[in-house]
Amino acid sequence: MNDTTFTPDEIAKMFKISKHTVYELIKRGELHAFKVGNKMRINPDEVERYKNNSQAYQNNTTNSVTSQQAANTTIRLTGSHDFLVEQLTKYVSQHTNLQIQPTYIGSLEGMMMIYRGAADVAAVHLLDPTSKEYNLPFIKQLFVLERISVISLASREQGFIVAKGNPKSITHFGDLTRKDVVFINRQKGSGTRFLLDAFLAQQEIQPKNIKGYENEEWNHLATASQISRGSADVGFGIRSAAEQLGLAFIPVTEEQFDLVFRWTDENEKELKSLYALICSEEFKGSIAKIPGYKLNGLGDIKYQTQNQGSV
């Protein structure tokens, strides 16, 4: 074992899961890793973060009675990766008897997960290119009979993440087509990929003319890490990821990030508790200093299906 990092094999033994599962966690952005040569490594602080956030870890480290109790208070969260959502997961576990089980798979697939009833909450930021509105056009088309509430979390800055000092002088989308610029993309189905492609279409830029467009990462921090290591020159992502790694950020737009609650008789009590926590001044204070976000409207109910009723 390395003195300062863990290998996927060591993580698999630690959590009593297969190595394949570890790689899937890394791919989905639930476990952040980096490469040393051709080998994957995970930092100890990332292992601790995963321990705190993972319901799987809770199930492996408590007795069967406690595990059953935890299952009864578990909220399945899916959708887009975001640092505010990470903080929400941590805050909930520290201040309530609830547990949030996160699966970061992108806004589009997250929306489909709650549509299929496979999750309770989805974190989404999908831009409708026609109306220029976030999230609601998709939600109104998809959810008709389901009990749905759309809750405002924050607006956040999206833009170009580049090396410190912006050595390639990247300032606009046209720069992505330069021969000396290597791009790192987000995966298909992510809200950031939707937003990027909308800008490219608006400016009539063909993806085939962007070196690295086909190279994908599953979350903002992994995207920023590629730039930090020099594997890419630029990515499209959020300010917070750039600042965490000491990179430069060129703002392009501000987007809306929402939570979609899908209510059932089984999860109503837990979701009401979660909503109350989101609206609390204590939670707002815990996220107020994370860079790149505006919290105006935090907790506002932007839309509910008619058969929902008030939370």
Looking up residue 224, the CATH number of its domain turns out to be 3.40.190.10
CA–CA gap between residue 114 and residue 122 (Å, rounded): 7
Q: What is the CATH number of the domain that holds 5?
A: 1.10.1660.10
Residue 174, domain member (yes or no): yes
CA–CA gap between residue 140 and residue 267 (Å, rounded): 22
Specify the pairing of strand 99-104 against strand 127-128: unpaired
Count of H helices and E strands in the chain? 13, 14
Residue 114, domain member (yes or no): no
| pLDDT recorded at residue 22 | 80
Q: Is the pLDDT of residue 280 over 70?
A: yes
Residue 13, domain member (yes or no): yes
Residue 122, domain member (yes or no): no
Specify the pairing of strand 99-104 against strand 74-79: parallel
Amino acid identity at 213? Y
Looking at 33-37, 68-72, 95-99, 125-129, which range is the least confident one? Answer: 68-72
Residue 205, domain member (yes or no): yes
Range of the domain at 11: 1-71
Global pTM?
0.77
Q: Is the pLDDT of residue 184 over 90?
A: yes
Give buried/exposed letters for 106-143 (b at 16+ CB in 10 A, else e).
Answer: bbbbbbbbbbeeebbbbbbbbbeeeeeebbbbbbeeeb
Cβ contact 184:235 at 8 Å: yes
Average pLDDT of every residue of the chain = 88
| pLDDT recorded at residue 49 | 79
Residue 187, domain member (yes or no): yes
Measure the CA dihedral 125/129/132/137, to 10°.
Answer: -60
| pLDDT recorded at residue 35 | 72
CA–CA gap between residue 223 and residue 192 (Å, rounded): 11
Single residue among 26, 44, 71 that ends a domain in this structure: 71
Tally of domains within the chain: 2
Mean pLDDT for 31-43 is 78
Residue 287, domain member (yes or no): no
Single residue among 53, 71, 89 that ends a domain in this structure: 71
